[in-house]
Amino acid sequence: MKLLAALLLAVAPLAPTAEPVVISNGHVDLGPKFVDNRWTVQLRDDTTDPATWRDLDTVVLQATSKAKVAVPEDPAYQFLGKPGQSVWVIPQVQQAGIVWPGWNTQDTEVATRVDREVTWSLEGVRGPGAFTLFLNSDFGKPQPVFDSRKPFPQQTGIDVNTHVHGNWTFDAQGTYLLDVAMTAKLTDGTSVSDRRTLRVYAGDGTPSTTPAETAVIPVAAEPEGQQVELWWFIVGAVVLVLGTTGIVLVRRRR
């Protein structure tokens, strides 16, 4: 219900060619899939029945205030911020009302053709604050996977035919563009790789109507301080400047 409402609102203003789906509740997985025989990083959306594999540029994950928590005193969690500071944590274990993003290598063709493991790398992050991805082990000691304050690229491995969840954290409100790549060696000896941008919005309301205090467009040589409201700008800009400076489009579609 909530999702539907968010959807309707999301398409209201500016409506460009693509209408991104906002997912703020339910299970989704990032993962590779062979789309028209091409290795592609997509998002498996289990909030629909049957599940829908979506292109990353058509979807936004949202961490609402339900995912807002205070950083604990425990020194092991100081990478999240100062004790007491508010941060958005999308938890590793499903929590009602919060989107539950994992990552999997279970698409049948992927699971059959990949040799041992997929390398997942974070090539960069654009956003108003720090992003981390960590895992909880049994006694609560956090195990970091990614941290946007560390040098890129950062890598982790995903065993073939597995499905995993972690904690996704964001320490300021706004849109985060996670530049992710997934690479694998196939059993036939060839290699495949794909690089895409996953969008996550931390904050309430709908990503489209929230004040543009934050996001930065994913262009390398970007003047400082130029802050623009998330993908509307990107999609809009691409539409506007199509044919003249196709760089943004090309970069994003790689």
Residue matched to tokens 């968010």: 6
| For other proteins, the closer CB: 78 or 245 | 78
| For other proteins, the closer CB: 35 or 135 | 135
How far lies 81's CA from each of 36, 202, 220, in Å?
A: 43, 16, 27
| For other proteins, the closer CB: 144 or 205 | 144
Q: Considering the complex, what minimum distance in angstroms separates the CB of residue 77 from other proteins?
A: 6
Q: Considering the complex, what minimum distance in angstroms separates the CB of residue 67 from other proteins?
A: 9
| For other proteins, the closer CB: 191 or 245 | 191
Does residue 181 belong to the site contacting other proteins (CB under 8 A)? no
Restricted to residues 116-175, the positions that interact with other proteins (CB under 8 A) are: 116-117, 119, 135-143, 155-157, 159, 161-167
Greatest Cα pair distance, the chain, in angstroms, is: 55
Q: Considering the complex, what minimum distance in angstroms separates the CB of residue 139 from other proteins?
A: 5
Pick from 89, 178, 182, 248 the residue near other proteins by CB under 8 A. 89
| For other proteins, the closer CB: 46 or 204 | 46
Q: Considering the complex, what minimum distance in angstroms separates the CB of residue 123 from other proteins?
A: 16
The two beta strands, 114-126 and 174-186, are antiparallel
Q: Considering the complex, what minimum distance in angstroms separates the CB of residue 133 from other proteins?
A: 11
Q: How far apart are CA 9 and CA 32, in angstroms?
A: 30
9: exposed, middle or buried (C-beta count within 10 Å: 0-12, 13-18, 19+)? middle
Restricted to residues 189-248, the positions that interact with other proteins (CB under 8 A) are: 189
Half-sphere exposure of 49 (CA within 13 A, CB side): 1
Count residues binding other proteins (CB under 8 A).
40
Does residue 48 belong to the site contacting other proteins (CB under 8 A)? no
Does residue 91 belong to the site contacting other proteins (CB under 8 A)? yes
Hey, CA dihedral for 9, 165, 200, 254, is it positive or negative? negative
What does the block give as tokens for 71? 């950083």
Q: How far apart are CA 71 and CA 80, in angstroms?
A: 7
- In our burial notation (b when 16+ CB lie closer than 10 A, e otherwise), range 21-52 reads bbbbbbbbbbbbbeeeeebbbbbbbebeeeeb
Interacting residues toward other proteins by CB under 8 A: 69, 71-72, 74, 76-77, 89, 91-94, 96, 108, 111-112, 115-117, 119, 135-143, 155-157, 159, 161-167, 189
